Structure 1
Amino acid sequence: MSGCMMKRIPAVLAIAAISMFPAAPVLADEPRQTFTRAEVAGIIGDIQKIVTPDGVQEQLEIPIGGIRQWISVRGRDRRNPILLVIHGGPGSVEMPLGWTYQQGWEDYFTVVQWDQRGAGKTYAANDPALVRPTLTIERMVADAGEVVQYLQKRYDRKKIFVLGHSWGSVIGLSLAQRHPDWLYAYVGEGQLLNGDDNERVGYANTLKAARQAGNAEAVRQLEAIAPYPDTDGGTPLEKVRVDRKWSGYYGGLAAGRSSLDWYGNALEMSPEYSDRDIAAIDAGTAMSLRALLPQEARLDLTGMTTFATPVIIFAGRHDNTTPSENVAAWLPKVQAPFKKIIWFENSAHMIATEEPGRVLVHLVQDVRPFAGNDLPDR
């Protein structure tokens, strides 16, 4: 390829062209280019930039429940139905992780990521001492309702879709029962129903896996926290950490993976988050867990079986964080205009990032049709 031709094509295409030919070896002592977090985030942000004429891409700090809370709104056509994602944890924000899986969603939905009270950007925007006493399940459900009403008003919508993940499925399911007139349908991913059953089943599965693997250290640590959960219904955070450590090691968080290092690395590259926001994640998670885990331990939504909105469950076959056998046993008792469980055979708890293609297909084929014709003209 002549130098003249090289000058006529963009640098990116030139690199692609050059890659077809053998390259000169790189010497071991030759300097390599490195990037800062901000530079990486900028590259990712540029790739996922919404450029369509009817698209929407905005981050908003909005007044919810007496404090400042943050949402991210992204979609390539603002006439698409809104999908509100309610993250898990407590405190495990999805906004800085969305870049890894939701670009396809943005062709079919206007996707809203919400950092809940005490989490992520919302944690950083408020005085933690004032927020800490307000961290209750009831307050969080009320916050979710206010977020939905805000979206209805700002984007002129009567209804939206809600997807609740893990801890967020507690908020989402409660919202679906209380305000079915606000929702086209509810999607539960890693649905949490009963705190005691969730911990008991997950712990038993993890201990069984450790014993079958002959992992003496894992067995020792797990047996040391027995009884788990405590007989008085409590679930001390220190015990939860031991359980989650080994559950994650045996693929109960992400199938086939022994850690969530990839998850943490993805968060740090987020174009949605500043360095200050990244630094706030751990502090917000710690505060949220200590305040909300005792409430979650006493939680029981298994009696919540009557809904006036469709209920769709995304269940990871290998999920041992919110064991899928629990929600599979509950769903047959549910009365709803429509109900369905969709199994993800290669996923555990992090379904959206583990099987992003299949999640997109099911959102489009099984969820979006419930919006029907109740959309602005195209």
Structure 2
Amino acid sequence: MSAKRLRITSPHGIDESGFVRISGIDQWISFRGDDRRNPVIVEIHGGPGASNLIYTHRTRAWERHFTIVRWDMRGAGKTFGRGGPDGQGEMSLRQLYRDALEVIDHVRGALGVEKVLLVANSFGSVIGLRLARQRPELFSAYVGTDQNINAGGRDHTAYDALVDRLTAAGKRKALAAITAMGPDESAWTTEQWTQYNKHTVASDPLTRKTLQTVVVGSLLFSPLHKLREARTYLQAMDFSEQVALESVTIDEWAEGTTFAIPFFVFQGEFDVITPPETARSFFDAVTAPVKDFALIRDASHFASFRHPDQFLDLLLTRVRPVLSTKVDESASIN
């Protein structure tokens, strides 16, 4: 049923995917939409190493209004499956940023568009903010969701809230492990970063339920993946954890709060991984031609995929009105 629902049969539609040579390795890129004349969204997925391709059946309605470009970064999804751990090349934020620029140039040429709408999720929003700051000429707007805001180690909102939840629940063993780590993420090992995230998810019923139903459910029943690819997906996330701690020393305020393009943040109202309070604090400091902030109701992390209808409504009512759509209809991805 899901595979049938994903079929795109409209005369101006596009449903193309495959490997493209990006920065020296084969990387998976998917183009989907009911009308290629619609605005183009390029997603920067989270994780690290957590491809958004598994959510395609949940976001089918988005494709009626936008052409959705999903890219499996090096170390993620089908890209990881293609080359394996030894074929991913350099794993660093700098390299992922360079890859993203090359992907965006490929998309612009393939679809005949001057600019794309940049939508960044979670860990991917670290790269997304840098792209939006440094290369605004490529983008019609920036949308961050599950927006990750690092403050050079100054902000402990998520950590303190986790300690409070564990204390209230009487989880002494988990509390001891978290307090032993301390709030300074830059001092953590990769294993401690993983442990922290597991305790965060386990401590919050809404996040835990979302992970089980939205994330794991999407992975296991994705019509675009074979069952064996579920294992590869998880292996990719484990492999990509090596770049996670590189991001925690970033100070987004120091990197810059001035953006030359419209700037939007749509955050889960109960997000315990990337708290809306922190995202709002950064948003309030931002200067942009247009900016807007909204909470996605009844959502923690993975908010846009838990409630794709709410997210689409925000895209259509708040973002799309500021976009210009110039498309070269003679362009072809082939």
Does residue 237 (structure 1) correspond to residue 190 (structure 2)? The answer is: yes
- Deviation for aligned residue 1:64: 0.8
Structure-2 separation of matches of 1:199 and 1:243: 16
The CA deviation at 1:167 is 0.4
1:84-99 mapped onto 2 (5 Å cutoff):
84-99=42-57
Deviation at 1:244, TM superposition (A): 2.2
Once residues 217 and 223 of structure 2 are traced to their aligned partners in structure 1, the CA distance between those partners, rounded to angstroms, is: 13
Amino acid at match of 1:288: S
Match of residue 118 from structure 1: 75
**Residue 119 (structure 2) aligns with:** 163
Q: Are the counterparts in 1 of residues 141 and 262 from structure 2 also a CA contact under 8 Å?
A: yes
Q: 2:85 aligns with which of 112, 124, 128?
A: 128
Whether 2:244 is the aligned partner of 1:287: answer: no
> Residue 26 of structure 2 aligns to a residue in which SS?
strand
Question: Per-residue deviation at 1:54?
Answer: 0.9
Aligned AA for 1:185?
A: A
In structure 1, C-alpha distance between the alignment counterparts of 2:50 and 2:152, rounded to whole Å: 21
Following superposition, the deviation at residue 330 of structure 1 comes to 1.2
Q: Structure 2: how far apart are the matches of 1:229 and 1:90?
A: 22
> Which deviations, in whole Å up to 9, do the C-alpha atoms of 1:154-186 show, x marking residues without a partner?
111100101100001011111111111110000
Question: 1:119 Cα deviation (Å)?
Answer: 0.5
SS in 2 for 1:273: coil
1:224 counterpart = 2:177: yes
Per the alignment, residue 324 of structure 2 pairs with: 372
Amino acid of the structure 1 residue aligned with 2:222:
S
The offset of 1:368, in angstroms, is: 1.4
Pair 1:183-2:139 in alignment? yes
Following the alignment from structure 2 to structure 1, what is the Cα–Cα distance between the partners of residues 80 and 151? 25
**Contact 2:37–2:327 (8 Å) recurs in 1:** yes
Change (3 A) 1:373 1:163: closer
- TM-score w.r.t. the length of structure 1 is 0.81
Deviation of 1:52 after TM superposition, in Å, equals 0.8
**Alpha-carbon displacement from aligned partner over 1:312-343 (angstroms, at most 9, x marks no partner):** 00111111111111111111221111111111
Residue from 197, 200, 207 that aligns with 2:163: 207
Shift of 1:202: 1.3
Q: State TM-score, norm by structure 2.
A: 0.91
Q: Deviations over 1:202-222 (max 9, x none)?
A: 12112212222xx32x23312
Cα shift readout 1:261-293 (whole Å, capped 9, x = no counterpart): 22212212112223443231111111100x212
Judged with a 3 Å threshold, the aligned counterparts in structure 2 of structure 1 residues 357 and 186 are, in CA distance, closer, same or farther, namely same
Distance 2:299 2:21 in 1: 36
- Residue aligning to 1:59: 17
Q: How does 1:328-367 map to 2 (within 5 A)?
A: 328-367=280-319
- Counterparts of 1:73 and 1:170, CA distance in 2: 23
Secondary structure of the residue aligned to 2:53 is: coil
Task: Give the alignment of 1:17-166 within 5 angstroms.
Answer: 43-100=1-58, 102-131=59-88, 134-166=90-122
**Percent identity over paired residues:** 29
1:373 CA displacement: 5.1
Deviations, residues 236-265 of structure 1 (Å, cap 9, x unaligned): 23323332233223437x45x446222212
Counterparts of 2:199 and 2:80, CA distance in 1: 29
Q: Does the 8 Å contact 1:118/1:128 carry over to 2?
A: yes
Report how far residue 231 of structure 1 moved.
4.6
Q: Is the 8 A contact 1:200 1:229 kept in 2?
A: no
Q: Secondary structure at the match of 2:83?
A: coil
Q: Equivalent residue of 1:260, what SS? A: helix
Q: After the TM superposition, which of the residue ranges 46-55 and 236-245 deviates more from structure 2? A: 236-245
Can you give the 5+ residue segments of structure 1 that lack an aligned partner in the other structure? 1-42
* SS of alignment partner, residue 225 of structure 1: helix
Aligned to 1:5: none
What is the alpha-carbon distance in structure 1 between the residues aligned to residue 159 and residue 103 of structure 2? 35
The correspondence for 2:278, drawn from 318, 326, 330, is 326
Secondary structure of 1:96's match?
A: helix
The Cα of 1:229 is off from its aligned counterpart by 4.5
Gaps of 5+ in 2: 330-334
The answer for the alignment partner of 1:37 in structure 2 is none
The answer on whether the counterparts of 2:30 and 2:71 sit within 8 Å (CA) in structure 1 is yes
Does structure 2 conserve the Cα–Cα contact (< 8 Å) formed by 1:249 and 1:259?
A: no
Spell out, residue by residue over 1:58-91, the C-alpha distance to the aligned partner (whole angstroms, 9 max, x if none): 1121011111000111100011011011110101
* Structure label with greater radius of gyration: 1
Q: Is the 8 A contact 2:27 2:73 kept in 1?
A: yes
CA RMSD of aligned residues (A): 2.1
